[in-house]
Amino acid sequence: MSEAVDLVIRARWLVPVEPAGVVLDHHAVAIRDGLIVAVLPQAQASARFRATTTVDLPRHLLMPGMVNLHVHAAMNLMRGIADDLPLMRWLQEAIWPTEARHVSAAFVRDGTRLAAAEMLRGGITTCNDMYFHPEAAAEAFAEMGMRAVVGLVMLDFPTSFASDPDDYLRKGLAARDQWQGHPLIGFSIAPHAPYTVSDASFGRVLAMANELALPIHLHVHETAREIEDSLALHGVRPLSRLARLGVLGENLIGVHAVHLDDADLDLLVRHDCSVAHCPTSNMKLASGIAPVPRLLGAGLRVGLGTDGAASNNRLDLIQEMRHAALLAKLGSMDASALPAHAALRMATLAGARALGLGDRIGSIESGKFADLCAVDFGTLDCQPCFEPVSHLVYVAGREHVSHVWVNGETRVDKGIRLLHINDSELLQLASVWQTRLGN
């Protein structure tokens, strides 16, 4: 007698990510109550399961939904507002003044809705966000049906969101309390960076992260200037300062980690930290090339992030895979550095593990949430296809994403629309905010 399931997805190629390097031909995924029940050949799936819905993907690659390990989602409303500037000029002359004038709960809610729509359409099912008004971000992600870890931001200077470090944490904790237990929404502690957070504030961050068992999400070693300033102010490099303060640990996600010497790398390894690699943003801001092959060779968890749309300018993790692979080859002068399967693992399971979610998402395995993405290789620009994972990284674009599921529920269907929100509504939001920011 056949076994009832909600959904069976049958694909030409299935890439589970775990075990590594595997491509399964003509396999299927059976899903019940949002969880993966089985991964098996299509003929066996037809014999074993009776599905309420069956989706056939005869020319597609089925893969885990991607994990964007670092994003400032609401900054979608500032896409293209200040280009072709180095990081500190970009922040001080354009981004921080714009935020002071315009950031509000409504700004964050609307910008995050736009970002979530963009990410879902590109096959990103989970993101690690860092921005103000976490309660508004959580509301937007939940509305869009996207899995998110929302950062409780802290800085040492006042903004339109909070007046001082205690105020940031108080408001962040209120948001966490409001959304605690939601199936799609989690939280991290997000001190912005060593150059904007004092030793005393890092002490508060560490205490809260330990008490609540939350990840710590911060920018670190992004530019050479950051390190020079830290040496001048603190007498040590930023990672050494964080180690002295007790901040480094397996729950730390260090974003960028571009400028690392041997001692820095040793600290990251010794404390079992994770790294969010943002290759496109690093290129655009001329921050440098992160030593990703060395990080991976040392056994570190390295995921991929887009950063915000104001410094990228798109939330496209397929692009990040391609840029990560190409930069790794160029930076090491080794064409074998970071092959396609390794780039895909960075975009999926590595990011999930960095967030402490590796037992729930990031690979196609029985018992995990059915967060999945299908990419259509049947178009003319994808012909011929000899190796599908190579094709994903070096040929395809986010425009080839055809279907996306989160918890087994369809979020994107046939690549043309989000099922739960109207494009015209999102376009109107973007237009309203463009007018406000332009005045």
Please report the pLDDT score of residue 349 as a whole number. 98
Looking at the structure, tell me whether residues 210 and 306 fall in a common domain.
yes
Residues 299 and 166 in one domain: yes
Pick the closest to residue 221 from 259, 247, 251 (CA basis).
259
For 247, phi and psi rounded to 5 degrees? -80, -30
Q: Name the average pLDDT for the chain.
A: 96
Same-domain check for residues 171 and 48: no
Q: How confident is the model at residue 425 (pLDDT cuts 50, 70, 90)?
A: confident
| pLDDT above 80: residue 271 | yes
Of 1 and 401, the one with more pLDDT: 401
Q: What is the CATH number of the domain that holds 327?
A: 3.20.20.140
Rounded to an integer, the average pLDDT of 399-428 is 87
Task: Scan for tokens 């300062």, then name that residue.
Answer: 241
Let me know if residue 435 belongs to a domain. Answer: no
Q: Please state the rounded mean pLDDT for residues 259-271.
A: 98
Cβ neighbours of residue 336 under 8 Å, at least 6 residues apart? 329
Whether 228 and 209 map to the same domain: the answer is: yes
Higher pLDDT, 267 or 422: 267
Same domain, 382 and 323: no
pTM (two decimals): 0.97
Average pLDDT on 294-311 reads 97
**Does residue 33 form part of some domain?**
yes
Are residues 50 and 77 both part of a single domain? Answer: no
- Looking at residue 421, its pLDDT comes to 75
pLDDT at residue 91, as a whole number: 87
Asked if 17 and 155 sit in the same domain, the reply is: no
pLDDT at 74 > cutoff 90: yes
Per-residue pLDDT band for 86 (boundaries 50, 70, 90) equals confident
Confidence of residue 165 (pLDDT cuts 50, 70, 90): very high
Residue with tokens 């004038």: 101
Among the listed residues 156, 160, 237, 221, the one whose alpha carbon sits nearest the alpha carbon of residue 191: 156
Residue 428 lies in a domain: no
Q: What is the mean pLDDT of the segment spanning 22-44? A: 98
Same domain as 103, residue 242: yes
- Say yes or no: 169 and 60 in one domain: no
Residue 283 pLDDT exceeds 90:
yes
State whether 56 and 75 are in the same domain.
no
Percent of the chain with pLDDT over 90: 91
* Predicted pLDDT of residue 417: 65
pLDDT at 200 over 80: yes
The torsion angles phi and psi of 70, rounded to 5 degrees, stand at: -160, 120
For 207, the domain range is 66-354
CATH of residue 398's domain is: 2.30.40.10
Report, as an integer, the average pLDDT of 205-224: 97
Domain match, 383 and 348 both: no
Number of domains in the chain: 2
Q: Assess whether pLDDT exceeds 70 at residue 416.
A: no
Instruction: Determine the pLDDT at residue 62.
Output: 98
